[in-house]
Amino acid sequence: MDLRERFKRIYEIPWVADGLAILGGIIYAVQSWMYAHTQSSILDEGAYLLKGYLFATGKYTPFQEYGPWSNHMPFSFLIPGYVQVLFGPGLRTGRYLAIVLGLLTLLGIWFLARRLGNRWWAAAAVWLLVLNIPLIKTFSVMASQGLVAFMFVWVLVLTLGKQRPTWQILLGVALAGLMMLTRINLTPVLPILILYIFWEYGKKIGLWSLLIGILVVGLGHALFWPGILRLWAAWLPLKWIPFFEQFAKPVGALPNWNPDVSVGDRLLSFFQGMRIQFFAIVGALFAWMWWPSKSGWRSEWRFRAGVFLSVVFGLLFAFHMWASLGKNYCVFCFSTYLSFFSFLGMLLGILFISSIKEFKDRFGKWLPFLIILILSIGIGFSAKGIWAEQQTVEHLARQILRTEVPRVSSSRIQAGNVPLWGLLSNKFGWSEMEIFTTSYDVSRTVVPVLVGLVFALIIIKFGAAWWNKIVGETQFNNAGAFSVFLLLGTLITFGLGATPGDRDCGWNVIESYEVGGAHLAEQVPAGSKVYWWGGLSTVPLLYLPDVEIYSPQINNGYSFRLGGDPDDLLRYGWWNQALADQWVREADVLLIEARLYGGFATTFAESYAFDEVSPTDPLVPCRSNSAIHIFVREQ
């Protein structure tokens, strides 16, 4: 019995695929638990948790004037807020909620992949998530990506496919409406979903779906009217819809955060997204390049599902690429933005590969090979700086540059030898240190780009032959080469994604925040007005439920404006230097992170009569300057 026959027999045993999926789920849970305990908190997580708790406990309401900046739809805050009301405020509750949502997302993807493909594709989908370390890290903190991905997956579980029960379809539409009330960037999903329901299930269920969608979204807007229109005013063209001008952001103030990002960095961000979400994006490209006619699908419902997934994925991809790469606010958020919906590309690839009758080349060789070449080089470029430590690269460069080479003068070889760096120094006037430093900067870009180029050329040359040998066929040409690119590229990008990130901080971040929070609770008197300059994440303030904060500070410098009318800014949830000076003068307690301590703390402690009490231990174990200094106003 040859190897192919043995694999075929194993493939026909149903419990093997399910067993692999269960094993993958266990490994996912272990990783999610680990990353929930070892990642430092970020601004978004602190904002969702703290604002959510303040909203859920009734201290503020979403879009309230002179309250926190409600920069997202209300349920992105209220859901984690009410969970904290049930289980207690703090990072532990938020992170454990993220773990649960991630596992439920994984379960939903397993259901969908099994419905669209089979048991083995369902197991493969699970493992595609298990091996995607950056995505697991994103879903293991309490930010809106994991919450929205959970909602989105279960919208599709309830509505996508053949002959779904009516109650499931309507529940899925209601959940899609709730998702829209959680993040405005997912707004296109609901109308496209309703159109798909009309197409797949007919006019009657379509009309009911339209009614349910309008009711859910309308009720949500009614509950938070009219403040919720601020979000729409931020996205709609006001000159065409002047009604929304009254809800527009304050004018006459400049954002504090407005970086000038180069084209090179925008390309870097784009290809980082391609690398981290490789299978999802390349799987979708695979489907689109070999998309057959309607008769080329195994069933009509799969064809319609493929169209729906293609439209939603393509539209959301373009929208989020514009929102990140086309603006300056958060250029390097592109890969994180893709986390909201990247599973759509994975499902589309699975649906396509398992549902079409045969592969037919539509674009010849040029388009598949061009995509392989561009993505390979681009992903190599995106890996600069992670393929080797700076110290290792510099050591290697020093060894090479100290190699003895013949002396050259006036284009003639002279007697004796000179180090290679000396030859370059004599020729171009560079110092030894400049040569060694530049060698690292150049090599960390050039080496991975060259590796990507070589990888692409190998796939273009031998990919089709390798694939035909694997599957025992002879008809796969360009599709075979692209299949090998998809398979090997997925494995390579998973390997690159497993490298430690900036937020990996060692065990146990949750406990360090709790210890720091307990210390703050001991030192800060109840009822105090607290001025916060304690770092990007406001998670520590969750452990001070009986104090009064200056709520615009929750978003740190992102809600800080240069100039502007203080009252207009404060009404919107923003602040400026005038408000900062006012709050320092009236605050009872100043909380200042160690890395911001220095002159700021000394100046205000002396000018406004504060006494410093014992600071917290570092809140982030891997960063010694993350302790919080506590200044209490003299009595």
What's the rounded mean pLDDT across residues 15-44? 94
327-344 pLDDT, tens digit each: 888 888 999 999 999 999
Calpha distance 205→169 (Å, rounded)? 8
Q: Counting beta carbons within 10 angstroms of the beta carbon of residue 82, is it exposed (0 to 12), middle (13 to 18) or buried (19 or more)?
A: middle
More confident residue, 105 or 536: 105
Domain assignment present for 553? yes
Indicate whether 480 and 540 sit together in one domain: no
User: Could you tell me the pTM of the whole model?
Assistant: 0.90
CA distances from 495 to 33, 368, 490, 586 (A): 20, 24, 9, 52
| pLDDT value for 259 | 78
Is 54 among the domain residues?
Answer: no
- 62 against 403, higher pLDDT: 62
Q: Is the pLDDT of residue 180 over 70?
A: yes
Q: What is the mean pLDDT of the chain?
A: 87
Total of domains in the chain:
2
pLDDT of residue 386: 64
Q: What is the mean pLDDT of residues 567-587?
A: 93
- Considering the domain architecture, whether residues 513 and 401 belong to the same structural domain is answered as no
User: What is residue 385's predicted lDDT score, i.e. its pLDDT?
Assistant: 62
Q: Which one is predicted more confidently, 491 or 108?
A: 108
What is the Cα–Cα distance from 383 to 274, expressed in whole angstroms?
A: 11
Once rounded to an integer, what is the mean pLDDT over residues 22-37? 96
Q: What is the pLDDT of residue 26?
A: 97
What CATH number is attached to the domain comprising 534? Answer: 3.40.50
Helix residue ranges, H only, 131-202: 133-139, 144-159, 166-180, 189-201
581 domain-assigned: yes
407 pLDDT more than 60: no
**Domain boundary residue among 476, 497, 518?**
497
Nearest to 91 by CA among 504, 516, 505, 506: 516
- Rounded CA-CA distance 204/202 in Å is 6
Is residue 227 helix, strand or coil? coil
339 by Cβ neighbours in 10 Å (0-12 / 13-18 / 19+) ranks as buried
pLDDT tens string 460-470: 888 878 877 77
- Average pLDDT value for residue range 308-335: 92
Highest mean pLDDT among 151-165, 392-406, 420-434: 151-165
pLDDT band per the 50, 70, 90 thresholds, residue 431: low
Backbone conformation region of residue 53, classed left if phi is above 0, alpha if psi is from -120 to 50, else beta: alpha
Residue 481, pLDDT > 90, answer no
Q: Are residues 409 and 474 in the same domain?
A: yes
Q: What is the pLDDT of residue 499?
A: 75
For residue 350, is it within any domain?
Answer: no
Q: In the prediction, which pLDDT does 294 show?
A: 87
How sure is the predictor about 384, in pLDDT bands with cuts at 50, 70 and 90? confident
**Confidence band, pLDDT 50/70/90 cuts, at residue 582:** very high
Q: What is the span of the domain harbouring residue 458?
A: 376-497
pLDDT of res. 448: 82
**254-297, pLDDT tens digit by residue?**
888 777 788 888 998 999 999 999 999 999 999 998 898 888 89
Last residue of a domain, one of 475, 497, 519: 497
Whether 267 is in a domain gets the answer no
For 25-35, b/e burial (b = at least 16 CB within 10 A) is beebbebbeeb
Q: What amino acid occupies position 363?
A: F
- State residue 472's pLDDT score: 67
The answer on pLDDT for 410 being more than 60 is: no
- What average pLDDT does range 480-490 have in this prediction? 87
515 and 461 in a common domain: no
Rounded (5°) CA angle 579-71-175: 155
Please give the pLDDT value at position 605: 62
Count how many Cα atoms sit within 13 Å of the Cα of residue 230 in the half-sphere of its side chain.
19
Same domain, yes or no: 565 and 477? no
Together in a domain, 479 and 444: yes
Q: Is residue 479 part of a domain?
A: yes
Query: How much is the pLDDT for 502?
Result: 75
Domain boundary among 464, 497, 530: 497
Q: Which two tokens stand for residue 494?
A: 């998973």
Q: Tell me, what's the pLDDT at 577?
A: 92
pLDDT at residue 435 is higher than 60: no
Residues 6+ away with beta carbon under 8 Å from 599: none
**Quick count: other Cβ atoms within 10 Å of Cβ 135?**
26
pLDDT digits (tens, 9 = 90+) for 487-533: 888 888 888 877 777 788 877 899 999 999 999 999 999 999 999 99
pLDDT value, residue 240: 86
Q: How confident is the model at residue 603 (pLDDT cuts 50, 70, 90)?
A: low
Encode pLDDT of 1-11 as tens digits: 555 666 667 66
Q: Are residues 442 and 554 in the same domain?
A: no
Q: Are residues 423 and 450 in the same domain?
A: yes
Which is nearest to 230 in space by CA: 252, 214, 246? 246
CB 294 within 8 A of CB 300: yes
Residue closest to 539 by CA, chosen among 33, 38, 47, 37 = 47
The pLDDT of residue 611: 85
Which CA distances in Å does 202 have to 196, 206, 483?
9, 6, 36
Whether 533 and 471 map to the same domain: the answer is no
Rounded to whole angstroms, the Cα distance separating 31 from 529 reads: 40
Query: Hey, is 519 helix, strand or coil?
Result: helix
How sure is the predictor about 360, in pLDDT bands with cuts at 50, 70 and 90? confident
Hey, what are 111's tokens? 């259901």
- pLDDT for residue 483: 86
Please state the rounded mean pLDDT for residues 238-249: 86
Within 383-477, residue ranges assigned H as helices are: 390-401, 420-428, 432-471
Q: Quick one: 485 and 515 in the same domain?
A: no
Residue 315 lies in a domain: no
* Peptide bond before residue 226 is cis, with ω within 30 degrees of 0: yes
Kindly state the average pLDDT of the residues 405-428: 59
Lowest mean pLDDT among 18-32, 272-286, 300-314, 428-442: 428-442
Q: Give the Cα separation of 509 and 519 in Å (integer).
A: 15
Inter-CA distances, 95 with 38, 39, 399, Å: 11, 10, 46
Whether residues 388 and 490 share a domain: the answer is yes
Tokens matching residue 555: 């978003």
Residues 518 and 628 in one domain: yes
Q: pLDDT > 90: what percent of the chain?
A: 58
Structural domain contains residue 381: yes
- pLDDT at residue 432 above 60? no
